Structure 1
């Protein structure tokens, strides 16, 4: 609604508002500093329409044109460069990732499940698979970039406007509407390092009539996956930086990763393959000695030969690949009485490639860990990884995700009493994933290599006759598929929702019109995980997640904007949300979970002491209803091999440093189950901001905001390490190194921990059950600064400069109320900067974009000494030995063992230092140049990551694990070139 009186805004704010108005082209013809009566728009963070884009809470607006000129093809690629996104997410290369084809966003480091994703102001279905096997979250990769008009990012609590999940902020993706004309974009590119070709094709357009409009967008993009074999500097274990090598690795090199081996279980020796065996596998294997170094005696022993893998990580994922098709269709129809009907349909289909370890065979008897071979009359273990030629090509070593999502909505909008704008909307959002993993059927592999079971020994061991002709020779693809299969994990999620809202000027106040907005919403959401029923029985899968169910939500909210003075405006909002009527997918009845009810509110002030200055502040409460998988997750099992801390202490093995590999009394395999916790409390929080927007000059502006976000009753999964350590502490009062254990929560804490541990009659671990808990609190603080400047010249053209800076000044987290609360800012990313310079002269244009990600702690960074901190951080001695990282040891190797005997370690009595090193910062530069060939045709050349900054040339000096770098922040792609053709018609 247009008002008769408005504050004047200078060029920069004025131009930003015009960018939000689809039909405002005529206004751009006016003089730059002339007063304008601008139409109103709705900006994220408020449902009240306004003529000034800037409000009491900061909103970062990124237009489609900005996304394109900065070199990005997808919305997610752009979002990762936001300076507010200081938290990291799972990297594509991360071993054990539960969501290899999904991309989350972690604003302020609060977690990907605490940022709300909206499309056109509406919620979309969660990604069906749980992030890290624990939480629900939104996937930002399935947003069709060709259909996007702009992205608005509000950082801070916004539950009073949008409800649950908006703890760290809201990302609202606004799609194109009322578009007239057509544009086709064709882009192809490649990486200069190889292995990564990309293609993008999009068509966006629209048509309008006297009473109707239709806007459409189609997009196809293809990204080749990047695997270890594509980057020789990261494809093998010995690519790890030398500083990270341990004593054995420095003495004899890395133990070969098993490609093909046969082991005598009674002696632990590998049985040598027949001569020439390893060379039959097309260079994938080599004949290797399995050397073992005894540090205590400084001796090397050969435990036999095997076929080792030539490149350990050749088939492990570095960067995911996918082939995606998406489309969006939006239409409106105007009735005679001012009523407008509209509908929108967005569809997304994706096929992604990913993989880690290839399909394998392990010949063991499940009861004893080996089988008795009748031919050799010995207990044997067989281990074998299949090669590309054996399975019929690389594609059969890799896994795929098939994904389909759609989001449909429709509604009516109009005016009431010529004063109020109203709308009513219904919609359904649905997401389906089918995850296909290439695996080997256990029994069929036994049938192929071992043949029928011949009986049992007197000790009950299974007897087979290994077919060594088959074992030591490559199989054909036809033979492989006698035992190979494709496991299919299925998952889906949905949200059905309806809403109605009204907004307008309620009455005339003493300083101007008092505006309001009201909204009511109802929604039903659900998810369902369907892992392959053969998992864990016929074959092993990388991850098996179980759970599912549904719940309803009812919400109502009010918002007011009240001018207090001509220069001072107040805003206030309140909202009530109720989640309830839970039903698990395996239950026909509602569950007795109760309901999560929360009332949230916010308030803000806008003060304009001068025409060019806005001083603002806001306060908001927020909440996050427990994610459905936190509540409804069903037991999802995995086998873990680690130390039984309790038995280690009770047996006295800790006194002689004998609690690791080799001591089968304390180091063995057991089940870890992950289950939801039905009676979790909602997370609650508050946030506040204070800052200013200053139009320094008619063509320059500066924005700065200080912000604080606090979260209480934080929900996190208590992991297996904490459960095992706490069980030992509760029963013995000791840590595994013999130091006193500190109880963080008294008897109630111990009762909860002990209830999660299951032991047999002999005290041996059978299983533990990890899961989510309401813990204590997390608080983050920081500043955001944005600067923009425009320079127009006759001879050199027009320039636009922009700079965004975020510094996360403080991060504190208490898992338990009894824990200390030290500053933890140095544990993660502390600062980010993004900036660009755009240039236009005649038919030419260019853009330079830079993204700086601050340094992150190295893997041996010393955190501190409180109970939660891993003191880590000890530098190795010259021989590679790393002393205990316990605070009491202080990076010293003791002269005597805990039992008083002399310590045989060559470094006994010596000390090393704590490590405080960081890796980074990392700076990525994108450059593009465009030329307008004709009125309708344009070509663009893009060079992304100009200086080839990548994970393989920014390795962490002490990271031994694949892929040796902070890959949550850096990819392995490197420099990319792309050429684009744009045609308007």
Structure 2
């Protein structure tokens, strides 16, 4: 079901563009008398170099000028403004297993279905995720431009290129020295940014060399300083008890509830976790990079790229909460003599906050040679090694069995969490994770001019690749054993070899119509092989009008962490009619439903009850690859010298999705006689009750999405008043349907899944002065009503998130001594997201930030 969207901000952007279009082209059009020869370039989405004209693939280029005008200090912050990131991008946050990581997610398909390239080569996955590249490890100072291919591209690049490709092109032809420093001050305390970089480049007739270093930082924002902090946190995990029969007893007798963070709320002693915790995590990025190329002779050249990036992060959560059972008559019994034990919901405040530090690093080295064999044949071959590492350390965590022992024997007094520091130290632990993701790659690419056709020369690009991937994510023994309160994790490690061959063939049928066919074969030594074909058409009936279309297939290989994760135990609660009967309840008491599941047949409304069972999760070596089909059709129209319009429709269908199957889903499948996904199982006792559930990542479900991207560019010469350029981008998702198990849902418009994102970039330049005004818009969202009986019409009003628009403004000037200065304000209206909780956070962290108005200054000096 769709819900009405707020479009006021979007209409504003369209209105502004319409006003510009209404201006007389005779007064503002640039001269078209100049004729230039177009150089051949390689653009993301094709291995064939061709004239720099609109191609068959929809590619958006974010150039260096756009990067500087954004006011952002990192690649991650820059890409969060992209309209192709339909549902937002993951960013650093405390308490997450990927605390320091920032990713890019095109089309809302997941960051693991977006391929990130660096100079056309696959970036390594962050070891803490095992599936997605970390944008924080790419230095923004080293970036020349970013090319976003908003179409599937497995036929050229292999696995993961389902939602699209983000190709980060690094600087190379740079001459001179540039030093840059910038500082940003946020309205919210703690989120300030700082950046610094230095570049050195030399060029000659035979080669070039670039050296650089960069640093950027964003500070931590504590929850007490963010929006919503005026309402105290009120965690029941303060010092309260429940009777053994489940009724609430209230504050623990004998405790005054006046220690830091604790306060009385009604009959309870609650804890204000907002005082000490931080949802945001701090991030510091440091990088060194170098690249060079040397022309040995007219046919041979050699090149090398090397970089080292380090990303440090700090996150903080409140002291560990825990629920502990105390026996009748023990030292910590809340009500001695009442004939029953009790459950105490306690905060281990004496152990201090849970602090997590993360150290990520990536070392990357590429060595290659280019050989112009003949006028028709060119070869590029080389080797590459990329090594991503991370180390995570967590302090202030509680070893549950040791804490329970100290409580049981009275050494630890629940009524005084600060009383005995030595006892607290005895059950407090420092936990850790160590990980790596290494890629060793050999590659050879060639382009061959074959024969002339009516529309030009037919060109074949082909190549071979072989790479070895090694992955490890290793938890400390206590975390892996599941004895750390408030933390869990199971290790994973594995490696694989991948051999690939691809070909792309251009057929210029006529001067206005060409066909490009591409295919790639990938062989994985762990699960099998995949073939990915693609056919692209380009028709240019007029000099200024181009139509394009493509159809292709893609895949996503099973990630190493999904294949090889170690087995981990938990005691999960599931609803199950047969288990209810098996432990002695009647059919009426169990809901009277033979399905006894949580499906949309009304069973979830019945009193089946939940029962804890032995549950295990692990890797699944039975996984196969996801399969996708992509279709796109579009047009590019250069209506005048000052107006360009592109419109592209897309559809992506994914089958055999790799996802973690929930324990409840497995029980539901079992009750309905549906075959369980390979690598999972449900075991029952003779009385029908569930005795054990084994889950894993499995191939189950599908996803179908379609939408449209619109780009409108204008460029006006204003005579002595300078030049004005505008760029409106709108991405609208038309359908987003996900099938998980037995449930099929159109999730478009739900919270976190807006149907519209838009941006309007306006730049005015006049000599040494320039002004940039950027508008970013995110559509509104609302969840459907959970049950019709609630009386909601159309949607749940408590989840409505309105349309969200921010305005960024900056002023730049070139100073006489070859320097430039910029003063800017991002989010000039000081907008904040609405406090609609998503994934346990007070707002949607993927779509919004809550830094408020940010004033920044940047100065660059060239020598």
TM-score, structure 2 as length reference: 0.87
What is the rounded CA distance, in whole Å, between the counterparts of 2:676 and 2:535 in structure 1?
Answer: 43
What is the rounded CA distance, in whole Å, between the counterparts of 1:232 and 1:616 in structure 2?
Answer: 46
What is the rounded CA distance, in whole Å, between the counterparts of 1:635 and 1:273 in structure 2?
Answer: 41
Answering whether residue 381 of structure 2 is matched by residue 424 of structure 1, we say: yes
Residue number in structure 2 paired with 1:839: 764
Q: 1:945 aligns with which of 816, 827, 835?
A: 827
Q: 2:534 aligns with which of 587, 593, 602?
A: 602
Pair member with larger Rg: 1
Q: Which moved more, 1:536-545 or 1:72-81?
A: 536-545
After TM superposition, list the pairs within 5 Å mapping 1:333-344 onto structure 2: 333-344=294-305
- The count of corresponding residues between Structure 1 and Structure 2 is 812
Q: Secondary structure at the match of 2:561?
A: helix
User: What runs of 5+ residues in structure 2 fail to find an aligned partner?
Assistant: 1-29, 599-603
Q: Secondary structure at the match of 1:233?
A: coil
Q: Secondary structure at the match of 1:564?
A: coil
1:867-896 deviation per Cα after TM superposition (whole angstroms, max 9, x unaligned): xxxxx1xxxxxxxxxxxx2xxxx417xxxx
Residue number in structure 1 paired with 2:40: 40
1:125-170 deviation per Cα after TM superposition (whole angstroms, max 9, x unaligned): 211123xxxx722222221111001111112221111112111111
After TM superposition, list the pairs within 5 Å mapping 1:671-710 onto structure 2: 671-710=614-653
CA contact (8 A) 1:358 1:397 kept: yes
Answering whether residue 41 of structure 2 is matched by residue 143 of structure 1, we say: no
After TM superposition, list the pairs within 5 Å mapping 1:457-476 onto structure 2: 464-466=409-411, 468=413, 471-472=415-416, 474=418
What is the rounded CA distance, in whole Å, between the counterparts of 1:962 and 1:684 in structure 2?
Answer: 32
Q: Which moved more, 1:108-117 or 1:913-922?
A: 913-922
What is the rounded CA distance, in whole Å, between the counterparts of 1:505 and 1:684 in structure 2?
Answer: 33
Q: Secondary structure at the match of 2:35?
A: coil
CA contact (8 A) 1:847 1:927 kept: yes
After TM superposition, list the pairs within 5 Å mapping 1:717-736 onto structure 2: 717-727=660-670, 730=671
Q: Secondary structure at the match of 1:515?
A: strand
What is the rounded CA distance, in whole Å, between the counterparts of 2:207 and 2:754 in structure 1?
Answer: 49
Residue number in structure 2 paired with 1:500: 444
CA contact (8 A) 2:240 2:249 kept: no
User: What runs of 5+ residues in structure 1 fail to find an aligned partner?
Assistant: 1-29, 239-253, 291-304, 451-462, 583-594, 731-742, 863-871, 873-884, 893-910
Q: Secondary structure at the match of 1:193?
A: coil
What is the rounded CA distance, in whole Å, between the counterparts of 1:139 and 1:774 in structure 2?
Answer: 25
Residue number in structure 2 paired with 1:286: 263
What is the rounded CA distance, in whole Å, between the counterparts of 1:174 and 1:709 in structure 2?
Answer: 26
- Structure 1 residue 676, shift from structure 2 partner: 2.5
What is the rounded CA distance, in whole Å, between the counterparts of 1:89 and 1:370 in structure 2?
Answer: 52
What is the rounded CA distance, in whole Å, between the counterparts of 2:712 and 2:206 in structure 1?
Answer: 42
Q: Secondary structure at the match of 1:34?
A: coil
CA contact (8 A) 2:620 2:696 kept: yes
- Structure 1 residue 632, shift from structure 2 partner: 2.1
Judged with a 3 Å threshold, the aligned counterparts in structure 2 of structure 1 residues 750 and 208 are, in CA distance, closer, same or farther, namely: closer
- Structure 1 residue 643, shift from structure 2 partner: 4.6
After TM superposition, list the pairs within 5 Å mapping 1:56-71 onto structure 2: 56-71=56-71
- Structure 1 residue 837, shift from structure 2 partner: 0.3
What is the rounded CA distance, in whole Å, between the counterparts of 1:962 and 1:717 in structure 2?
Answer: 19
Q: Secondary structure at the match of 2:135?
A: coil
CA contact (8 A) 2:186 2:852 kept: yes
CA contact (8 A) 1:124 1:407 kept: no
After TM superposition, list the pairs within 5 Å mapping 1:380-391 onto structure 2: 381-387=343-349, 390=350
Judged with a 3 Å threshold, the aligned counterparts in structure 2 of structure 1 residues 58 and 477 are, in CA distance, closer, same or farther, namely: farther
After TM superposition, list the pairs within 5 Å mapping 1:386-785 onto structure 2: 386-387=348-349, 390=350, 396-438=353-395, 439-442=397-400, 445=403, 450=407, 464-466=409-411, 468=413, 471-472=415-416, 474=418, 481-535=425-479, 536=481, 538-580=483-525, 582=526, 595-641=527-573, 643=575, 646-648=578-580, 651=585, 652-655=588-591, 666-667=609-610, 669-727=612-670, 730=671, 743=672, 747=673, 749-750=674-675, 756-758=681-683, 767-785=692-710
Judged with a 3 Å threshold, the aligned counterparts in structure 2 of structure 1 residues 646 and 836 are, in CA distance, closer, same or farther, namely: farther
What is the rounded CA distance, in whole Å, between the counterparts of 2:802 and 2:370 in structure 1?
Answer: 51
Residue number in structure 1 paired with 2:16: none
What is the rounded CA distance, in whole Å, between the counterparts of 1:320 and 1:172 in structure 2?
Answer: 27
- Structure 1 residue 423, shift from structure 2 partner: 0.7
What is the rounded CA distance, in whole Å, between the counterparts of 2:257 and 2:165 in structure 1?
Answer: 55
After TM superposition, list the pairs within 5 Å mapping 1:269-348 onto structure 2: 269-270=249-250, 272-274=252-254, 277-279=256-258, 281-282=259-260, 284-290=261-267, 306=269, 308-309=270-271, 311-348=272-309
Judged with a 3 Å threshold, the aligned counterparts in structure 2 of structure 1 residues 612 and 644 are, in CA distance, closer, same or farther, namely: same
- Structure 1 residue 785, shift from structure 2 partner: 0.9
Answering whether residue 789 of structure 2 is matched by residue 891 of structure 1, we say: yes
- Structure 1 residue 965, shift from structure 2 partner: 3.2
Judged with a 3 Å threshold, the aligned counterparts in structure 2 of structure 1 residues 163 and 826 are, in CA distance, closer, same or farther, namely: same
CA contact (8 A) 1:196 1:226 kept: yes
1:311-355 deviation per Cα after TM superposition (whole angstroms, max 9, x unaligned): 243344332211121121112222135311111112111111224
- Structure 1 residue 800, shift from structure 2 partner: 0.9
After TM superposition, list the pairs within 5 Å mapping 1:345-360 onto structure 2: 345-360=306-321
CA contact (8 A) 1:371 1:380 kept: no
What is the rounded CA distance, in whole Å, between the counterparts of 1:579 and 1:326 in structure 2?
Answer: 33
Answering whether residue 843 of structure 2 is matched by residue 980 of structure 1, we say: no
CA contact (8 A) 2:137 2:361 kept: no
Q: 2:208 aligns with which of 213, 216, 220?
A: 213
- Structure 1 residue 488, shift from structure 2 partner: 0.5
Answering whether residue 162 of structure 2 is matched by residue 167 of structure 1, we say: yes
Judged with a 3 Å threshold, the aligned counterparts in structure 2 of structure 1 residues 538 and 664 are, in CA distance, closer, same or farther, namely: farther
Residue number in structure 1 paired with 2:23: none
Judged with a 3 Å threshold, the aligned counterparts in structure 2 of structure 1 residues 122 and 93 are, in CA distance, closer, same or farther, namely: closer
Residue number in structure 1 paired with 2:176: 181
What is the rounded CA distance, in whole Å, between the counterparts of 1:766 and 1:230 in structure 2?
Answer: 47
Judged with a 3 Å threshold, the aligned counterparts in structure 2 of structure 1 residues 833 and 268 are, in CA distance, closer, same or farther, namely: closer
Residue number in structure 1 paired with 2:4: none
Judged with a 3 Å threshold, the aligned counterparts in structure 2 of structure 1 residues 653 and 400 are, in CA distance, closer, same or farther, namely: farther
What is the rounded CA distance, in whole Å, between the counterparts of 1:371 and 1:759 in structure 2?
Answer: 37
Residue number in structure 1 paired with 2:845: 967
1:70-129 deviation per Cα after TM superposition (whole angstroms, max 9, x unaligned): 2222112222222222134556559x7431221222211222111111111111221112
1:523-544 deviation per Cα after TM superposition (whole angstroms, max 9, x unaligned): 1112112111112465235230
